Structure 1
Amino acid sequence: MSIDFWRQLKLEAENLKNSEPLLSSYVHTCILAHHNFETALGFILSNKLADTVMSSLTIKEIFEQCYLMHPEIAEAAMVDIQAVFNRDPAVTSNLTVLLNFKGFQAIQVHRLANQLWKTGRKDLALFIQSRNSEAFSVDIHPAAHIGQGVMFDHATGIVVGETAVIDDNVSIMQSVTLGGTGNEAGDRHPKIREGVMIGAGAKILGNITIGEGVKVGAGSVVLNDVPAHVTVAGIPAKIVGKPTCQKPCETMQQNILED
């Protein structure tokens, strides 16, 4: 998939370069000057994260080493791009997601932090987390697990705690918190199963499980386990219906009154 995907991205980059001359140099530097998807992605993300102390070149080398040792991380990024392309009607190209969507970018930065955390480089992982929060307004603990095909739509204000798990194929809107209920130690954050869609501003708190195919209404506060394939809403959240599809993450239908 990676070769075909990269060819498609370069084609989209050429089209953008020709249609918008003011972006020509930018597109060339970010996409066309690179020989594969991994180096382009590392370049884009490192320039987003760099500050006056940590240079983009240093961060880029960390990304490239990560992608070299763990190619599945770059593969997950491609799946994430396609998920956004398929779910967001405002998106007209894969390139748009790669260059401009901070929710996608924040997830990819987290993948690096997570890999650093798992290999014992926790201080560097926390630095990457901090820069991720400052650059994208998304705060994900490096230990949190995020699957592939995950979409953070708009993304501003999303918080994901240390022991949270987000399975494959999940969509999360802005200002969502996957948090704890206090200062307890151990496994204390939510587990979000495949196919779930979490509406804007929802708070899911504690070591609870949100079952497959669940829809969480905007602004809800979820404090207990939720069984698969139901719609929950309210404070505290209660079952109010059943989604009209198996995977609400794909249809992104947020109106709970339709369920």
Structure 2
Amino acid sequence: MIPNEIAPVGQLWQAIRREAEGVLANDPVFGAALSSAILDQPDFGGALSHQIGARLGKTPADRARFAELARDAVRCSPDLIDAASRDLQSIAIHDPATMMLLPPLLNFKGYVALQTWRVSNWLWRQSRNDLALLLQSLSADQLQISIHPAASIGTSVFLDHATGIIIGAFAVIGDEVTILQNVTIGRKHSEPDRAPKIGRGVLLSAGSTILGNVTVGDFAKIGAGAVVEHNVPPGCTAVGVPARLTNCPEASVPA
């Protein structure tokens, strides 16, 4: 359990290890898997890389190869670890279903898919596009989450109940965004170079679709099943098909 604030990565890792040691003491049957995933790892980056390999690889050789790829990425780009730390702690702080760090790290496929995207995005920025797209494909196959490597995603992001999430190329997603299952964020065929921009603290509810050159303002909420093709001002709620605005702050309501 962590306090209601973002801790440094080193402190996070110690908290994860303490949780793992407590689980091992209470449930020795879980010990072998827990040791390889956490207790045998040198640091948070090692544990995270192990999880990416374990989730994406179908064979031991594949799992080792993808884990090593993730290790290379976090060694070359330490900001990936900082982002992964913020994502994980945000789940423990804000998700009422868990107040611990270990369960989302080991069992929340949305968390692993997001960190897989961070590695693929790093590869994309290194012009290793084919390998980046391979990771996207594997994430779609194994985790049912497809995030294009050319998307842009902030930190403290939570993919909750993460199944059927699609985030297209060039989409921009801000910090502290929560995305539920079966959400699509993508371009229109008539605007192939324009993708949605999702502001800070936005909630995208289950089954919602955001399409085209639209902006969803900070702390807006998109209702379940809504189809958004026009801008949503900050703080507003958009519901329905096509989406209409409701519960807007007074400043967002036209005169």
Instruction: State the TM-score, normalizing by the size of structure 2.
Output: 0.92
Instruction: Output the CA distance in 1 between the equivalents of 2:52 and 2:179.
Output: 21
Aligned to 1:132: 139
Q: Which one of the candidate residues 16, 41, 62 is aligned to 2:48?
A: 41
* Paired AA for residue 72 in structure 1: D
SS of residue in 1 equivalent to 2:161: coil
Q: 1:53: Cα distance to partner?
A: 9.5
Q: Which one of the candidate residues 62, 68, 72 is aligned to 1:61?
A: 68
Say whether residues 1:156 and 2:156 are aligned partners: no
Instruction: Output the CA distance in 2 between the equivalents of 1:82 and 1:53.
Output: 29
Q: 1:200: Cα distance to partner?
A: 0.5
What percentage of residue pairs aligned between the two structures are identical? Answer: 39
* Paired AA for residue 19 in structure 1: N
Aligned to 1:223: 229
CA contact (8 A) 2:84 2:115 kept: yes
* Paired AA for residue 202 in structure 1: S
Q: 1:92: Cα distance to partner?
A: 3.0
Q: Closer, same or farther in 2 for the Cα pair 1:193/1:57, shift >3 Å?
A: same
Instruction: Say how many residue pairs are matched.
Output: 242
SS of residue in 2 equivalent to 1:239: strand
SS of residue in 2 equivalent to 1:55: helix
Instruction: Output the CA distance in 1 between the equivalents of 2:100 and 2:23.
Output: 10
Q: Deviations over 1:82-108 (max 9, x none)?
A: 111122111131011100001111000
Instruction: State the TM-score, normalizing by the size of structure 1.
Output: 0.90
Instruction: Output the CA distance in 2 between the equivalents of 1:208 and 1:131.
Output: 29
Aligned to 2:5: none
* Paired AA for residue 208 in structure 1: V
Q: 1:185: Cα distance to partner?
A: 2.8
Instruction: Output the CA distance in 1 between the equivalents of 2:61 and 2:166.
Output: 24
Say whether residues 1:232 and 2:238 are aligned partners: yes
CA contact (8 A) 2:111 2:159 kept: yes
The runs of 4+ residues in structure 1 deviating greater than 4 Å are none
Aligned to 2:195: 189
Instruction: Output the CA distance in 2 between the equivalents of 1:55 and 1:137.
Output: 19
* Paired AA for residue 151 in structure 1: F
Instruction: Output the CA distance in 1 between the equivalents of 2:242 and 2:100.
Output: 39
Instruction: Output the CA distance in 2 between the equivalents of 1:72 and 1:129.
Output: 20
Aligned to 1:254: none
Q: Closer, same or farther in 2 for the Cα pair 1:34/1:52, shift >3 Å?
A: closer
* Paired AA for residue 98 in structure 2: V
Q: 1:242: Cα distance to partner?
A: 3.6
Q: Closer, same or farther in 2 for the Cα pair 1:178/1:54, shift >3 Å?
A: farther
Say whether residues 1:29 and 2:33 are aligned partners: no
Q: Runs of 5+ in structure 1 lacking a partner?
A: 244-259
Instruction: Output the CA distance in 1 between the equivalents of 2:203 and 2:45.
Output: 29
Q: Closer, same or farther in 2 for the Cα pair 1:23/1:141, shift >3 Å?
A: same
* Paired AA for residue 192 in structure 1: I
Q: 1:183: Cα distance to partner?
A: 5.8
Q: 1:240: Cα distance to partner?
A: 1.4
Q: 1:179: Cα distance to partner?
A: 1.4
Instruction: Output the CA distance in 1 between the equivalents of 2:150 and 2:11.
Output: 32
Q: 1:51: Cα distance to partner?
A: 2.7
Instruction: Output the CA distance in 1 between the equivalents of 2:203 and 2:248.
Output: 13
Q: Runs of 5+ in structure 2 lacking a partner?
A: 1-7, 250-255
Say whether residues 1:86 and 2:85 are aligned partners: no
* Paired AA for residue 221 in structure 1: V
